[in-house]
Amino acid sequence: MRTLRPGRVTVQEAARLVAPADGAVLLDVRETLEWRAGHAPGAVHLPLSALAAGAALPDDAQARPLVVICRSGNRSQRAAEVLAARGARAVDVIGGMRDWAAAGFPVVDAHGGNGTVA
């Protein structure tokens, strides 16, 4: 069986893809504590551990292109491969949330305040 290799995008490309005009979903695959500490506004959360165990995509992400992000880009690459094998259109973000925050894109915590990348 051939492994599907989804594409990879920069944080700048990711931000454009998840803009309302393009309609992709930013899917954050970090664990819950990381997500609560800080995530991109509007992102949808599904930990890689749950995805790998067979969890379905959240309703907000069903049948939409997916831009997958984690802390540094390793887990998101694996998650994008899992999603592609399931037939989803998915790309992962090179550099993850670390590069997202370093590029000046917003990061919010679980309460909507200023978040940090854990």
State the catalytic residues: 70
- Tokens representing 37 are 């500490």
**Alpha-carbon span 116 to 7, nearest angstrom:** 27
Pair 33, 118: CB distance under 8 Å:
yes
The DSSP output letter for 96 is H
User: In the block, which residue shows the tokens 């049948």?
Assistant: 63
> Which residue in 111, 113, 116 sits closest to 71, CA to CA?
116
Distances (CA, A) of 30 to 5, 37, 77, 87: 20, 11, 12, 21
